[in-house]
Structure 1
Amino acid sequence: MPDERLRAALTALPVRRALPGLRAALDERGVAVLAAPPGTGKTTLVPPALAGLLPPDGPADPGGKVIVVEPRRLAARAAARRMAWLLGERVGGRVGVSVRGEHRPGTRIEVVTTGVLLRRLQDEPELAGVATVVLDECHERHLDADTAMAFLLDVRAALRPELRLVAASATADTAPWARLLGGADGADGAPVVPAPVVETEAALHPVEVIWAAPERPPAPPHGMRVDPALLGHVAATVRRALAERDGDVLCFLPGAGEIARVAGLLSGAGVDVLQVHGQAPAAVQDAVLALGERRRVVLATSVAESSLTVPGVRVVVDSGLAREPRTDHARGLGALTTVRVSRAAAEQRAGRAGREAPGAVYRCWSQAEHERLPARPRPEIELADLTAFALHAACWGDPDAAGLALLDAPPQAAMRAAHGTLRAIGAVDGDGKVTERGRALARVGVHPRLARALVDGAARVGARAAAQVVALLSEPPPRGAGDDLTAVWRTLRGPGPPADAHAARWRDEARRLQNALPDGPPRAAGHDDAVAGTVVALAFPERVARIRPDGGYLMASGTGAALADGSALAAARAEWLAVAVADRPAGAASARVRQAVVIDEDIARLAAAPLLEEDEEVAWRDGDVAARRVERLGAIELTVRPLPGPDPERVRAALLDGLRAEGLGLLTWTPAAVALRERLAFCRRALGDPWPMVDDASLIEHAADWITAAGARRRADLARLDVAAALRALPPWECAARLDELAPERVEVPSGSRVRVDYSGERPVLAVKLQELFGWDAAPRLAGGRVPLVVHLLSPAGRPAAVTADLASFWRDGYRAVRAELRGRYPRHPWPEDPATAEPTRHAKARRAR
């Protein structure tokens, strides 16, 4: 029977034709890239072929185990089960599997996740007894997979040149991998000879593309939100596909929440609906991999794109959405966000419909939209939190990852943030080199933050409790769990068997983590909130949060945080929280708390001790200088006391900050000061240097000297400054001596009046009654004759009658019209026919006696 299964697989799967070329490439170069589209059998047949387990015409045993590396636990278990079934065995015989929480290594083939391989490489880089490593689905560009490949290339170069490596990709974009693997063979300075590429033709089953866009465009995805209208359309498209096509339907959705929503919309469809995602229980995984008695609709995340074969599928319905990580490195917040799939991912999904027979894909978008999709997904190294990657690199002896063979270099900002986190938890020293503590944390097999919480938390609350809380933090909470993490913990540790798959995984992981800790004396754990809160705060000290007057919270990182409406924690209005899960939606001012624990200030101080500091603060706050001694936990103020006798330099700096923030209105601007500033500004415009600039920014810089001279220490002192005297001191003495000449405050007119010049506009203005200027054929020019005065000729009532910069021209050409209009209105004022020779006056004619 096993031989029949293998022969059937060899006959049916196109990869069989590539096996001789793959063996030859490995024999010659030791490295190869295998391009095998979905459905060709690369995961099923290639490892047994390389391990010498095919029927008698296969090759001899190569002398070591074959390790197959999968990006996900779900895919690793499925691959191991499939290969063991072909051999007529159970997993754990010649074919084994090692994933977190499960270790059945097998004697000839071992399927592992990338995380397991990374930990194994750190402990045993030689990989003794391993002949070949196959990195499956490398096109997905998961960070752990990229890291594992870089480490394996180092092992080949320095320790095990005979170790054979295969990069297996479901896409034809193999050139980057060929260059990367080929670089391990050339000598220093020699040109890189790309690794051999072995291609497998796709399964010969056509897939018809049906464009099934909704009638009305749905709202684009925003953060984790997906328009319910689109989910309704996806469910309707599934029903349409069931009516129009035969076979099972595989429907791609971005996450578990959307899968549950569409599953609800498909109730009553007369088919079995299976929900497949990273948290799906093993029973569901088994059901997906076995044909059912009724038609099935498999609702799946991207996990089913290329690493999971679903038998019986003839139709794919694609929502066109996926989830990618996003990290706010400045705030220490990470989140998944919903994005449009790439064209490459869409092709991977469509290929699922043609693995066994001709099929069809219903794409819930238009062909025009398809052309605008990105060509391929972004590599995870560009998007993710790099703390775990940086710790792996430091343990490998390359803290900056500069010497690692990576397709894409890690972003420098993300690496700086990662190194900062690792230094804070003692995993690396000031030079970025790994410490013994860092190596111990790396061996735990969880994110370094969680490893730190486990190790340090066990010393405070006991190993069992610390392991249970860290296990709870190590994967996303189940839907509907609520935001009170302590309540979730109480439910999970209740008596009896696990209630669901999440509870079962939690128990297994808690047991594994507890076993990873050294034996120590039991400790009194304390009440549940104190225990859970201590562990959470140790993992995420910058997320310790204190309530604000408005009911929101401020995290130690400086980011605001808010509880959701209906939150179980909101009613308590706890002063302190340890935030376990938070994200910051796009465009939101505050983070959104997903899960947290009520704590007290003592726990906050203990867990976030590196963020505790006391500072003397002299700053402009709430409209005045505040001198305080402040104790802070990051951005959270714990205690505030007055600071007597603050440093005068810091006081001056605070006053200048106040002027910059609130403007020069803090000074007292008398009319004389305003007029003097305007005259100085005119001279600067007309004459340039060395006349000083008197705009706001320049005066604020000068104000530093004014503050020092006046001994100002608070807002009230600014208001008492003599601004006019300060302005007079600005120009050099040779300029100050000529100010009245170049920009006189007043000008004497023919009537004998001394009229103030208005310098507030672009040009200086002299506003004077028309009768006072009779006989004046030209107004004086200012700024040494460079700028003419603009004369506003006023009526006897003081209203503008004419504007001119050329009096002689006005008397000759414009006066007649003004005289005709105004002399009847103002008969008591002189309106001579020849104003050039008339006597100027500022008085009206005397009234005649009656």
Structure 2
Amino acid sequence: MTQHNGKSRFEGKVAIITGAGSGIGKAAALKLASEGAYVALLDLVNDRISETEAEINKLRAGAARAFDVDISDPARVEKAVLETIELFGGLDIVFANAGINGVSAPIEEIQVEDWQQIITTNLNGTFFTIKYALPHMKKRGGGSIIITSSINGNQRFSSFGMSAYSTSKAGQVAFAKMAALELAKFKIRVNVICPGAIATNIDQSTVKTDELHQIVIPMEFPEGQQPLADGPGQPEHVADLVAFLASAESRHITVPLALLEEPWVAGRKIIMLEPRRLAARSAAARMAASLGEKAGQTVGYRVRMDTRVSQSTRIEVVTEGVLTRMLQQDQGLEDTAMIIFDEFHERHLQGDLGLALALESRAMLRPDLKLLVMSATLDPAPVCALLGEETQWIDCPGRTFPVETRYVSKPASEQIETFTAHAIVKAIAEQEGDVLVFLPGAKEIHRTERELSNFMLPAHVQVHSLYGSMPVERQDEAVRPAEEGKRKVVLSTSIAESSLTLAGVKVVVDAGLSRASVFSPRTGMSRLVTLPVSKASADQRRGRAGRIAPGVCYRLWSEEAHGVLPDAAKPEIASADLAPLALELAAWGVQSPAELQWLDTPPDAAYGQAQALLRQLGGLDDAGRITPFGRRMNTLGVHPRLASMLLRAAELGLASYASMLAALLQEPAGLRSSGSAGAGTDLRPRVEALLTADSSAMPQTAASVADVAAVRRMLQESRQLRSALGPAADPVRPDEDSCGWLLSFAYPDRIGQRREDGRYLLSSGRGVRLAATESLSRSAYLVAAEADDQGADARILLAAPVQEKRLLELPHLLHEEWPDLIEDDLTEELAEHISPFLAGMRSAADLKRLSMQDVLLGGLSWEQRQQLDREAPTHIQVPSGSRIPVDYSRPEDPALAVRLQEMFGQQETPRLGGGRVPLTIHLLSPAQRPEEFTMQKKIVGAGAGGLVGGLVGLGIPEEDARQYEEYVQSGKILLLVDSTDRDTDVYEVFSNNSYVNRNNIDVHREDVPAERPDLDMEERRLEAQNKAARFGNNTFL
């Protein structure tokens, strides 16, 4: 007997099979019985049906009973169904398989009674069998109906003389489609299989007329639909498909196939959206298998880095980002009749976006486009309101078995991986069947797997991992039914929560945690957080234990804790980085989310921050419209930051290196550098390791099987990105500075300048830090690609150094739409620039009065003029109220010359360029002469009150601050200026605006009034000299 997870797949199930004495019917009966089913064999009693009954009962005593039934006789069919119920106690599966070929003759030659016999046996017999079985299946709460039809009459019409047979087989398909729609609410699935040439004895029931007796019809297979073996297929091949359709594994595939031949489809496609790649591939493979095909024929799929479609594909299962791309490329989706949004309760950002765009497409371009939203837990009322007044709500609860819930509270001191491992061992010992374990992420999965290795698990128990970034082969291995005599333990993330069916699972162990990325508009950074699951999610996980039989769910938290869980998780759109969404909407042609319909509108703060970033990257203009550069960014299918970097790199001849870097940034944990114990924060060794792997046959830099898979995945991604950038060559050889330089195009808001002790100030104003042991902590400038966004100073996780000279080039590259004011270019384009200003001019004198400043500014748009005035103003207003002109004679170092006393109260250095460029301050003496230093950072005016505390707050030791306090006890004022040489200059300021530099004893005599009796200049010089000896070499920052 075939075992699944220590239990048979159809244990306790009852099946009726017509035509069970031979061929496909016999093979299916043996298959179902071998996996635990009780089978009623309906056929005309003869040696063959008796042999089938005996063979099954030898395998399992009492598992089969043969009934003498002509399925064209409704009374005999009804009697056999009732006797089956009395014998086995219920009915779960009906396989309407019996049929005949009958007479093969031209239409005008076939006799009426021959026509009626074929139709009655094949079509009426199917109807009788299902009609009398349905009341009993409804009592069981659902089940599965499978009908054997044929490709003849559905896909092929070349068998001469088979008009009656083909008609009956086409009728079966039409009947099944209507039955599927009618019975879905009763949790009864209806599927049709259409075999081609199968080695059975059905040809013995074919009688050819004389006109057709000599005609030999060659066996032909439609293009792309080759047989499973040379010659006809075997009944056992079809029996495997019958078993699949009879099992719970097939419950995910009915809807698209049932709708495919509806009149309103009219030969167009159905797109089915799945939120996860594994689920998309699995759903497509199962639907294709039900048609006897492989994925890529009638049913195909499109996921990132993997596509299986052809010209014959009618159903495409796609992931969310792929749907968005399809809508962007064809806003009307003219070749599509319906979009199905499956598992919509997961509420991924791209799913919400896809639905919003589809609604807009339907409203503006395609009123006939049908939308179907499917969910296991979502409140239907808001969705119905969003889709429109005519939306129908169909409640189709899935067939489930009772699940016992056991709460096992984890001690606070115990690690979740250790506690989960103990719970798994307990579940294996106490329960039967496979065990599905939910953990928050891959890290916890690997740790739990290591914990389980410390236990002596039974030899027949196999442990598998399942998460999104695993290789496809290992994912398929994890979801495949267990081998005969084996049990499986599957350690999974939420990927197995709703989109997949794992055959044989009867036990769930739920750690009660999930991981999500939370974006902060304040800092512009995302961070991964581990959160308790919602009640809806916990119920979804629990339900996985009751798909095939009664099950048990171990919840690793208390019942009291369960009571305070949120009812549902927040949709991703409420906490995600919205930069990709903002770029997609701009490409769609809208500037505000309010122009579309949403289930939950994107938050204003996060969306505003996203638009600001896109403007900085060059993807949007100041009005929020997409730029030509932004349209190119949106074609690459990566985050706008990485798209900006890739396009800039292509311009600089570094496309291949940037493609490697982008692939790495999308999966930063996938590769360790240089074989070290940890990858560190420096991205450069990681990129070099990836480049090395690309040039070798086997990745030498990967330390484990998981690393090898990650390397291969990243190499594949980098090649696709490189291909998307076009055929341009890479003339520039990357160097040590290339990584940081390229990162600056992706993260212009995360360019950091070193302060001290591994701390950096980002261009966004955010503080970040590096461990002192990190080699990067000595870099003057770096670009932080990733930080944890924890605390006042976020910890840098991934970064690369960048040279200051590269940063000076950045503004020009980021604002290519601005005119280049190069003298030679201006000379060549003089006529174009100057002609609008020549109107009314009649002499050379008029020409001399022409303002070249007006000419240059005339080349800017209104938005650019506004931006120029904001980011490069002609004057700066200082605390005294004066408007001081900015000196741009050195563009790389704009300066402000201002009298010292006019800056009292200025707490921060003025900045230009949207806060990116600090303004150099030249402090003037009262006589308007510049001092010998320039101030770069901070000016602090201090009066008598609270001086010591203020100085200590600036980092000055308290002992030194007490000494400075001596100067203010008599009402004097101290001014501390943090200068470019990092020395704090101390000035004593007098009421008449003269002042003394207490560090270098520089006294400005010309403004000192002679009548001041309290001013003994020589005494002050001496006192200043003494103080300078104590404080002059101190550095305060």
Scaled to the shorter chain, the TM-score interval is 0.5 to 0.7
- Answer yes or no: is 1:99 the counterpart of 2:287: no
SS in 2 for 1:197: coil
Letter matched to residue 252 of structure 1: F
Matched letter for residue 116 of structure 1: V
Aligned counterparts of 1:395 and 1:177: Cα–Cα separation in 2: 26
CA displacement at 1:231 relative to structure 2: 2.0
The change in CA–CA distance for 1:561 and 1:656 in structure 2 (over 3 A counts) is closer
Superposed, 1:510-589 pairs within 5 Å as 510-527=718-735, 529-564=736-771, 567=774, 569-570=775-776, 573-585=778-790, 588-589=791-792
Match among 283, 289, 300 for residue 79 of structure 1: 283
Deviation at 1:566, TM superposition (A): 6.3
1:198 to 394, 410, 413: 394
464-473 or 475-484, which deviates more: 475-484
**Map of 1:167-182 to 2, 5 A cutoff?**
167-171=373-377, 173-182=379-388
Structure 2 match to 1:491: 689
Which residue identity lines up with residue 320 of structure 1 in the other structure? G
Instruction: Note the C-alpha offset of 1:556.
Output: 2.2
For the residue of structure 2 that corresponds to 1:515, the secondary structure is helix
Residue 85 of structure 1 deviates from its aligned partner by: 2.2
Q: Residue 372 and residue 714 in structure 1: after superposition, are their counterparts in 2 closer, same or farther (change >3 A)? A: farther
How has the CA–CA distance of structure 1 residues 629 and 119 changed in structure 2, closer, same or farther, with 3 Å as cutoff?
Answer: same
Q: Does 1:278 align with 2:468?
A: yes
CA deviation vs aligned residue, 1:135-162 (integer Å, no higher than 9, x gap): 1111111111001001101111111111
CA displacement, residues 596-638 of structure 1 (integer Å, 9 cap, x when unaligned): 22332233443466699755578999x9889999888987888
TM-score normalized by the length of structure 1: 0.68
Question: Match for 2:566 among 363, 374, 377?
Answer: 374
Q: Deviations over 1:737-789 (max 9, x none)?
A: xxxxxxxxxxxxxxxxxxxxxxxxxxxxxxxxxxxxxxxxxxxxxxxxxxxxx
Q: Deviations over 1:301-320 (max 9, x none)?
A: 11111112212211111111
- Shift of residue 533, structure 1, vs aligned partner: 2.2
| Change beyond 3 A, Cα 1:668–1:396 | same
**Other-structure match for 1:507:** 715
The verdict on how the C-alpha distance between 1:122 and 1:550 changes in structure 2, with shifts beyond 3 A counting, is same
Post-superposition offset of 1:331:
2.1
Per-residue deviation, 1:199? 1.1
Give the alignment partner of residue 412 of structure 2, picking from 206, 217, 220. Answer: 217
- Identify the match of residue 251 of structure 1 among 425, 432, 437: 437
**Aligned residues of 2:672 and 2:686 also touching (Cα < 8 A):** no
- SS of aligned partner of 1:314: strand
1:272 Cα deviation (Å)?
Answer: 1.9
Shift of 1:269: 2.6
1:541-580 Cα shifts (integer Å, max 9, x gaps): 222223332133332222222335865x45x733332222
* Residue 179 of structure 1: how far off its partner (Å): 0.8
Query: Which deviations, in whole Å up to 9, do the C-alpha atoms of 1:668-693 show, x marking residues without a partner?
Result: 888999xxxxxxxxxxxxxxxxxxxx
| Change in CA separation of 1:429 and 1:318 when aligned onto 2, cut-off 3 Å | same
Q: CA deviation at 1:86?
A: 2.3
CA distance in 2, matches of 1:60, 1:391: 34
Which residue in 2 is equivalent to 1:19?
A: 181
Q: Please list, as runs of the form range in 1=range in 2, the aligned pairs for 1:304-343 lying within 5 A after superposition.
A: 304-343=496-535
Number of aligned residue pairs: give it: 642
Aligned to 1:686: none
Q: Distance in 2 between matches of 1:660 and 1:476?
A: 54
Matches within 5 A, 1:549-698: 549-564=756-771, 567=774, 569-570=775-776, 573-585=778-790, 588-607=791-810, 614=893, 616=895, 642-644=922-924, 658=942, 662=946
CA deviations 1:21-46 (Å, max 9, x no partner) are 999xxxxxxxxxxxxxx979664211
Hey, what does 2:851 align to over in structure 1? Answer: none
In the TM superposition, 1:783-822 aligns within 5 A as none
Post-superposition offset of 1:644 = 4.0
CA contact (8 A) 1:316 1:362 kept: yes
What SS does structure 2 have at the residue aligned with 1:169? coil
What secondary structure is seen at the aligned counterpart in 1 of 2:768? strand
CA contact (8 A) 1:560 1:591 kept: yes
Once structures 1 and 2 are overlaid, which stretch shifts more, 305-314 or 358-367? 305-314
Match status 1:445 vs 2:637 = yes
Q: Please identify, of 62-71 and 593-602, the stretch whose mean Cα deviation from structure 2 is larger.
A: 593-602
> Bigger shift: 336-345 or 270-279?
270-279
AA aligned opposite 1:279: S
Matches of 2:905 and 2:941, distance apart in 1: 9
Q: Distance in 2 between matches of 1:62 and 1:137?
A: 26
The alpha carbon displacement at 1:594 in A equals 1.7
- List alignment gaps of at least 5 residues for structure 1: 24-37, 53-57, 183-192, 219-227, 674-706, 722-850
User: Cα–Cα, structure 1 residues 82 and 600, in superposed 2: closer, same or farther, change >3 Å?
Assistant: same
Contact 1:13 1:203 in 2 (8 A): no
Partner amino acid, structure 2, of 1:129: D
1:785-811 residue CA offsets vs partner (Å, 9 max, x unmatched)? xxxxxxxxxxxxxxxxxxxxxxxxxxx
Query: Which among 448, 460, 470 is matched to residue 662 of structure 2?
Result: 470
Q: Distance between the aligned counterparts of 2:598 and 2:573, measured in 1?
A: 10
Note if contact 1:616-1:643 (Cα within 8 Å) is conserved in structure 2. Answer: no
Q: 1:457 and 2:649 equivalent?
A: yes
Residue 113 of structure 1: CA displacement? 0.9
Q: Per the alignment, do residues 640 and 407 of structure 1 end up closer, same or farther by CA in structure 2, a change over 3 Å counting?
A: same
| Rounded Cα–Cα distance in structure 1 between residues aligned with 2:895 and 2:771 | 36
* Residue in structure 1 matching 2:338, options 107, 122, 132: 132
Aligned to 1:806: none
User: Cα deviations across residues 172-211 of structure 1 (Å, max 9, x unaligned)?
Assistant: 52111111111xxxxxxxxxx2621111123231111010
Query: Quick one: distance in 2 between partners of 1:86 and 1:566?
Result: 59
Deviation of residue 11 (structure 1)? 4.2
Distance across 2 between alignment mates of 1:376 and 1:565: 42
Evaluate the alpha carbon distance shift between residue 435 and residue 639 of structure 1 in structure 2; reply closer, same or farther with a 3 A threshold: closer
How far 1:328 moved relative to its partner?
2.0
Q: In structure 2, give the amino acid aligned to 1:510.
A: S
Q: Gapped runs of 5+ residues in structure 2?
A: 1-23, 33-92, 97-141, 147-176, 186-246, 674-678, 703-707, 815-870, 872-890, 930-934, 951-964, 973-988, 1009-1037
Tell me by how many angstroms 1:709 deviates: 7.8
What is aligned with 1:744? none
The alpha-carbon distance between structure 1 residues 319 and 606, as it changes in their structure 2 partners (threshold 3 A), is farther
State, as a whole percentage, how many aligned pairs show the same letter. 37
Greater displacement, 660-669 / 166-175: 660-669
Residue pair 1:655, 1:713 contacting (<8 A) in 2 also: no
Q: Which moved more, 1:362-371 or 1:429-438?
A: 429-438
Q: Quick one: distance in 2 between partners of 1:325 and 1:429?
A: 28
Partners of 1:18 and 1:340 in 2: how far apart?
39
Partner amino acid, structure 2, of 1:487: P
Change (3 A) 1:613 1:49: farther
2:443 & 2:734 partners in 1: Cα distance? 35
CA contact (8 A) 1:624 1:658 kept: no
Which letter maps to 1:600? Q
Alpha-carbon distance change, 522 to 360 in structure 1, aligned in 2, over 3 angstroms: same
CA distance in 2, matches of 1:323, 1:449: 23
CA separation in 1, counterparts of 2:996 and 2:536? 64
The alignment's TM-score, normalised by the length of structure 2, stands at 0.56
Counterpart for residue 238 of structure 1: 424
- The one of the two structures with greater contact order (alpha-carbon pairs below 8 A, sep at least 6) is 1
Q: Which amino acid aligns with 1:489?
A: V
Change (3 A) 1:311 1:334: same
For residue 400 of structure 1, what is the amino acid of its counterpart?
A: S
Displacement of 1:73 in angstroms is 1.7
AA aligned to 1:206 is P
Give 3-state SS (helix, strand or coil) of 2:719's partner. helix
